[in-house]
Structure 1
């Protein structure tokens, strides 16, 4: 197999090139979607707006970690996000990983418009590695002499997907990256379209791979910061959620573009991912609006058990409860008997709170709410 020449070894590094024409349609769609999302958010008031914020930030925190194979506890993440946003003061113990990623997501949301600095990246890294004991370099760029490689496969026969620049060049590389990032995001700098800025930010950062761990999560956060800077306000975009749904394609796109500086393919992939993420955000907004209307309609008609189950169904989000709600699920969530569950479910179906499908053991229930 031929030895790969990584992009940072090429003469023109880090000057990426791409075909603007291929991306024009995506940019137009992005601009329209941005307007639609902001318009929709404007119509949400009070508690529902907080719900949307907590929902998107916690899903992003969970999914950006899941892309790296780390599974977090949703309740802990949501509690931590609420606490960091000042929406709650409940005193529950949050595990370090959940607390750290939540802190980073809230910082990204609240301080999207501050210029990028080494210090901000170091702070994010400290948040992300909260509680870790296995890293040498926390809150600073990597210093180890061994090559920084992205590998998979057997220990004795690994596949090297990427080898990053050596640790002793990190200060220079990151100085250059931060200067570039802040320059292209100057309010009067129109040399690059928003999707290109976000896509290049992600790819460029990941190719430097400046930290011992956490590079993917920080790269995705930087892409979200870039989108927010281009839009002039936090975009509440479901980027990591969309990437995680097709993780293989994401890793493949990164690998296909780490030996070249011509990155039209990557920008096309990443641009489409951002558009999908915007559509997902719109569905979440619709869902939150319908949830508010739903509880206004039924608040006095549900008993405590029914209320608990309906809330649990809403927690599953706009994609619904995996496989639908069964009588068995109902018994478990409501902590009740089979006969009470049967009565409750019939009542909920009669009131048109739930829609029933299937028969006998295949009977499933879905929330009867309108979502686009």
Structure 2
């Protein structure tokens, strides 16, 4: 039984989306400008450094799209798996630390950003099967690779002090085949008609909201829905260089703005099909993702120049290893080096050895001491 409100899929004009073109003019322009700046930066990278950026952005998306749903993924292990599976360089084999579900998610993210063919029911179901390869969530069985079939309502619920709150209820399962067919017709045909004038950003933001509104699977709708968003944006950017696949990580932005994300989805799903507010929020997330990807490019280039500047320094194996890890995307403590962390990273087994190595690095100008702390809390920042 539906409670709290009427949902958009019950409206007689469903699914005729409406929005204010004028209200979105500046947000869309900002997104396109941010994308252009990012592509300009990416165009200056050689293959090795481009692959480093891609590996970092794939890792951010893998970790963040899972975290939004409360699933924790080991970033370092995921990065190694991504680099090896997508041939983005050389990485240690840490597959034993990566769950089958994470491997499946990596495959989904690769498919949604590298395979630009049409989206079909079969493709969606294959993504779902990859996400739940065991057919279970923990010990609980789940209908895998199929749209939900239960007559029970599919509800998004949170617990409150006064009882459960229903944020949203999706269309019943007996409507799904027709609803998905209508969504895919829009996604593959109507939304790609040049006369409609949908930008890749706008198309992706609408597609994600529509898919989340249908909520066709028993679980995993958020992760698959964000892959649907990815695919729409990639398909709508044919001018993007073919050798550059993932150039953003929208989920890392959404994860930090998770409460706002859920609130905006709920508001749109209980609204009147005017989705201007949702689109404004989603477009802003895309713009921020482009800007953060550009910062990732800058970081990769900073690290590259760091090694060029210090190529003649006679680093020992321990020092090189510690610097490499501290400069990597999965560095803990924001890259700070301490005596204790140095011992852990290098396995040198001695605080005296760590102190001597760090003192050398400081003397050579590769690291500098944080003036705000001292004594046993002394820590060092790499001089980029």
Scaled by the length of structure 2, the TM-score of the pair is 0.89
Q: Could you tell me which of 244, 262, 275 is aligned with 1:263? A: 275
**Are residue 307 (structure 1) and residue 308 (structure 2) matched?**
no
For residue 269 of structure 2, give the secondary structure of its aligned residue in structure 1.
Answer: coil
Q: Is the contact made by 1:96 and 1:130 (CA closer than 8 Å) also made in structure 2?
A: yes
Q: Is the contact made by 1:81 and 1:103 (CA closer than 8 Å) also made in structure 2?
A: no
Superposed CA deviations along residues 188-222 of structure 1, whole A, max 9, x for unmatched, are: 34432333212111111101001111111111111
Q: Is the contact made by 1:7 and 1:13 (CA closer than 8 Å) also made in structure 2?
A: yes
> Bigger shift: 326-335 or 64-73?
326-335
Superposed CA deviations along residues 37-89 of structure 1, whole A, max 9, x for unmatched, are: 11211111122121111111122111100111111122332232223323569
* Inter-partner Cα distance in structure 1 for 2:13 and 2:157: 26
Q: Is the contact made by 1:227 and 1:235 (CA closer than 8 Å) also made in structure 2?
A: no
Shift of 1:226: 1.6
Q: Is the contact made by 2:4 and 2:166 (CA closer than 8 Å) also made in structure 1?
A: no
**Are residue 128 (structure 1) and residue 140 (structure 2) matched?**
no
Long gaps (5+) in structure 1:
none
Q: What is the CA RMSD across the aligned residues, in angstroms?
A: 2.3
* Inter-partner Cα distance in structure 1 for 2:337 and 2:195: 51
* Inter-partner Cα distance in structure 2 for 1:125 and 1:344: 49
**Are residue 162 (structure 1) and residue 168 (structure 2) matched?**
yes
* Inter-partner Cα distance in structure 2 for 1:266 and 1:123: 28
For residue 143 of structure 1, give the secondary structure of its aligned residue in structure 2.
Answer: coil
Shift of 1:279: 0.4
Q: Which residue of 2 aligns with 1:66?
A: 67
* Inter-partner Cα distance in structure 2 for 1:323 and 1:84: 26
* Inter-partner Cα distance in structure 2 for 1:279 and 1:351: 33
The structure-2 alpha-carbon separation of the partners of 1:25 and 1:156, relative to structure 1 and needing over 3 Å to count, comes to closer
Please identify runs of 4+ aligned residues in structure 1 that moved more than 6 A: none
Q: Figure out how many residues of one structure are paired with residues of the other and give that number.
A: 367
**Are residue 353 (structure 1) and residue 366 (structure 2) matched?**
yes
For residue 289 of structure 1, give the secondary structure of its aligned residue in structure 2.
Answer: helix
Q: Which residue of 1 aligns with 2:144?
A: 138
Shift of 1:320: 7.4
The correspondence of residues 61-100 of structure 1 with structure 2, limited to 5 A, is 61-87=62-88, 92-93=95-96, 94-100=98-104
Q: Is the contact made by 1:184 and 1:191 (CA closer than 8 Å) also made in structure 2?
A: no
* Inter-partner Cα distance in structure 2 for 1:114 and 1:42: 25
Q: Is the contact made by 1:184 and 1:192 (CA closer than 8 Å) also made in structure 2?
A: no
Q: Could you tell me which of 251, 256, 265 is aligned with 1:254? A: 265
* Inter-partner Cα distance in structure 1 for 2:326 and 2:145: 39
